[in-house]
Amino acid sequence: MIEPQLENIKDQSDMKVDNKAVKHQAVDTDYRNNNLGLDRGHLFPCSYAPDDAAKRSTFTLTNAVPQASSFNQGSWSTMECRVREALELNCKDNNNRIEAYVVTGAVPSSSNTLNNRVNIPDLMWTAYCCYNSNLGQWVAQAHWGENQQEDKGKTLKPETLGALEKELNKIYNVGVKVFHNKCLRKVVLEDETGRNLEAVEEVEPGKKRVREGSGEGNGEGDIKMARASGELKDCDDEDGCDCDCDEK
């Protein structure tokens, strides 16, 4: 669907129109039969929506970019599912309500376009930050990947928020800051198997806090990745991951 308020369209009930009438956004005809293996890739995922009405609202083309189909339906989709499970398990406030902040972006290409009008991004990235009441700390995680066709079974490794900001700074040459300072830059919450981990230190018997170290990206340096027993919950394959929304 389009966002009719962005166009000079009298009948705003018509959410699907052809190319000629739309000047300020993509339309379905840009993607149809593109022969480039590109999907209408969601930015805010359909699977994160809380109900059917919210799910439908994600199917606007202002919430999509041309995304390589095997990337969209492969490692990116798997990552979105893992992140959703992590948010549900570990991002609960003091009232046991899920509360998290997610930012997703696409780095535009210099000249690669779909139908000579829609930019095909070179890179896609996403990050989340939330307050974990069990740990008593803000926690964060990031992912990114090149927008290209990929082999089946490829995964996106969880990265630190600091590593993502460093990567974006290399691209944009400005001080990119995705979240506020309370969101830790040097701690990753999940390993490549999908199990939620945290770097913690014991401040006194029975009490732990998140410990930042000097590692970047994969938690190298003096960050010791350890399971915080009972404080961060696991998302295992057998738990199931119902993230099936049509994003082609």
- What element of type H or E holds 169? helix 161-172
Q: How far is it, in rounded angstroms, from Cα 217 to Cα 170?
A: 15
Give the Cα-Cα-Cα angle 133, 138, 143 (nearest 5 degrees): 120
Instruction: Give me the pLDDT at residue 214, please.
Output: 34
Give residue-wise pLDDT tens across range 76-126: 999 999 999 999 988 988 888 889 999 999 999 999 999 999 999 999 999
Q: What is the mean pLDDT of residues 66-76?
A: 97
Per the CB < 8 A criterion, the answer to whether 113 and 125 are in contact is no
Q: What is the pLDDT of residue 9?
A: 72
- Averaged pLDDT score across all residues of the chain: 78
For residues 199 and 4, the model is more confident at 4
Write down the number of H helices and E strands in the chain: 5, 9
pLDDT at 191: 46
Tell me which DSSP letter residue 56 carries. Answer: H
Which H helix or E strand runs over 166? helix 161-172
Q: What is the mean pLDDT of residues 2-10?
A: 80
Contact 84, 165 (CB under 8 A): no
Highest mean pLDDT among 85-94, 150-159, 222-231: 150-159
How far apart are alpha carbons 194 and 25 in whole angstroms?
A: 36
Determine how many CB atoms are found less than 10 A away from the CB of residue 166.
15
